[in-house]
Chain A
Amino acid sequence: MKPCYINSAVSISAQDTLNDSIFLEHILSFEGKLARAIHPNYKLFISPIASRRMATGVKMGVAAAKKALELAKLETPDAIITGTGIGCIEDSEKFLNAILDNDEQYLTPTSFIQSTHNTVGAQIALTLKCKGYNVTYVQGAASFESAILDAQLMLHENEANTILVGGTDELGKFLINDIILAEEAEEHPILTPFGEGAHFFTLSSLKQNNSFCVLKGLKIFNKATTETIQTKVEAFLKENHLIPEDIDAIILGKNGDAFDILYQSLQDSIFKYTPQLHYKHLCGEFFTASAFGFWAATIIIKQQYIPDVLKLNSIDKSGYKNVLLYNQLKGQQHSFTLLSSC
């Protein structure tokens, strides 16, 4: 695959990642099980009339997308590709409650209209009047990576020159409580809070003045075990002409549950002497939380600096050229993402 240049990276998360000028310096901690996003002043991005109708995820998504375009000085991308695991759960819940509370009567369409998973991608297209390629992926914890994979394929095959890619998930108010109850009943439940956020990036096939990072490789797969994961990562690196020693930092999607053994098996073996990083204690666990990891990787490469709060071990490198991300959820929806300096 041809390299994909990354020209802007924007994070709206439970940390103040949109406004904080210093990379993860002022860390917020959470009380309870939820890590709700720190919201920007949406008036800067969305007209008040449009904003009133938008649920949290749509607002976060549109704002992050607009900021990513602004930073890349890109007016209209050739394609808009988004990912979301839970979709527009706020509006889905609103409509579902209305159906159940009133026995299918006195319903209005607004929340239904905005409940479809593609609402964020659609609202961005509508705001930008962008008529290009537009797809939304809903592959659980690999939703964001599916969007990135599609973008990589488009750039590789010259189907587009500039692409806006992002992932958005909102917590909602009801289903999340059931999800937490179900999770707590597990023997080894997720230990990080549940979070939300929107992360957007602009990608281009050609290197631009503002390009600061390259997406080299990406692999999505559905199944792996502690026995197979090492072989898989080595094969992935080989495809990208690298060996484990070439990786300057590995960013792991650890959340404290039983499936962390997949990460641990890599930490204890081929990446034993590699700087090991985690991030879900900062942004919470959600389907597109891996986009927070992706965002952090791009900033590490740009600034050549790793904040202590991300570190799992005390190993440092003199420079950070190749950063590898590995994420999975409950032993499914695995992804490897390789980012490099350019």
Chain B
Amino acid sequence: MSQNRVAITGMGIMSSIGNSVEENLHALLNNKKGIAPIVNIETRHKNEIKVGEVLQTNAELSKILNLPEEHNYSRTALLGCIAAKQAVKQANIRDIEAFKTGLISSTSVGGMDLTEKHFQNYNAESRRLINSHHAVDSTEKIAELLGITDFTSTISTACSSAANAIMLGARLIKSGQLDRVIVGGTDGLAKFTINGFKTLMILSDTDCTPFDANRKGLNLGEAAAYLVLESDTVVKQENKTVLGYLAGYGNANDAFHQTASSENGEGAFLAMSKALKIAELNPIDINYINAHGTATPNNDLSEGKAIKRIYGDSVPDFSSTKAFTGHTLAAAGAIEAVYSILALQNDVMFPNLNFKTAIPELSMVPITEVTKKPLNYVLSNSFGFGGNCSTLIFSKGL
């Protein structure tokens, strides 16, 4: 691979623990979780589930974007637009097309929140909303908002989507195809996903407990996060502040089952190994792992085994932040990328909330309190349905 470094110069985030990077950091440092009973969606499961919901209604989010009353923005698009705008603002980009700039977004259900409202009764309103169903729709709206007319793409690999968007962005910068790329993911909560995960019987009725022996399943969440990736040339020319670097990335397929992870975490093991190789690092160089850790019985055991295949009994400090935000599906890889950069910037590791007892097969104990430590490299995992496993490695900015 060509040897261009990939700098991160801007970040934006909307999640259940905050509407900005600062709010998210504050919540992470003060154990303020965003898991609560569902408010914005009317579902008959409301008393059986807890979710990580962005509290603003669609109308409130639309106001932030100054949208006209009759628009066709799905919740996925609303969250995505706001987060992407923040990222571009932090990167202090004045003329977005002054360099070869692209946008790579990701989503799992796209505008399903709107589709499920008009699906069985076509009328004048559905005509206005119909195109919002497609996964590409939120990307188009973000591109429009940011003024990106050139390379635009969207990825959907279930819960590893945003990690793959970040990875493609990095590869396009490294190869010199792009100078700058806004990457990330967005997913609004929808009845569709709530019921889907419900039928799989992997939703917890309490706050989720990643890596705990008695974990009962995950809390769903909604979020959007975007990062601005820039080449060395742009950083130098524009005298940019670098928040961190993307040092490595790996993608592999578990090739085991449509939804379940293999017992030995093969896909996860391969993704982490590839990322370490690209970053030219030894496993021991990683100071902190932001695990996928969804708190489903299957994921945490499989991921834990994969980590142990790399580290044996010397597993680095690790935690899952899913107990703060819930599992935000396609956006998860991007919000955890933001958290990984925040960890590096502040030399701090975020707690794995609600942990009590180690999984007997693993004996792995995560970080359970806010812990200061000098950090040089943070590894972040994202795995999804379809065996899609991705790993990103971030390093400190200068």
Contacts and interface: CB of A to CB of B under 8 A. Distances in A.
A221 B385 contact: no
B386 A85 contact: no
Contacts of B143: 222
A49 interface: no
B320 interface: no
Interface centre among B126, B143, B155, B257 (most CB of A within 10 A): B155
Interface in A31-87: 80, 85-87
Given A96-B192, A104-B195, A175-B115, A131 B252 contact: yes
B26 interface: no
Contacts of A80: 253
Given A113-B200, A153-B175, A119 B153 contact: no
A156 interface: yes
Nearest to B197: A112
B255 interface: yes
Contact of A139 (B136, B158, B270): B136
Contacts, number: 207
B387 interface: yes
B139 interface: yes
B258 A99 contact: no
B150 A100 contact: no
Contacts of A115: 196
Contact of B258 (A114, A149, A150): A114
Contacts of B266: 131
Contact of A146 (B153, B171, B254): B153
Nearest to B252: A131
A142 B387 CA distance: 24
A153 B171 contact: yes
B119 A175 contact: yes
B281 interface: no
A182 B252 contact: no
Interface residues of B, number: 69
Nearest to B143: A222
Contacts of A178: 118, 122, 126-127, 130
A125 interface: yes
Contacts of A96: 112, 115-116, 119, 192
A230 to B, nearest CB: 16
Given A85-B136, A113-B258, A133 B149 contact: no
Nearest to B167: A135
Interface in A121-178: 121-123, 125-126, 128-140, 142-143, 146, 149-150, 153, 156-159, 174-175, 177-178
Given A157-B1, A222-B150, A136 B44 contact: no
B1 A122 contact: no
A26 interface: no
B2 interface: yes
A105 interface: yes
A87 B385 CA distance: 14
B386 A122 contact: yes
Contacts of A175: 115, 119, 130, 133
Contacts of B175: 153, 156-157
A89 B270 CA distance: 31
A143 B154 CA distance: 8
B158 A116 contact: yes
B255 A130 contact: yes
A109 B199 contact: yes
Q: Report the 8 A-B pairs with minimum CB-CB distance, sorted nearest first.
A: A122-B386, A140-B136, A112-B196, A138-B135, A117-B156, A223-B149, A109-B199, A134-B253
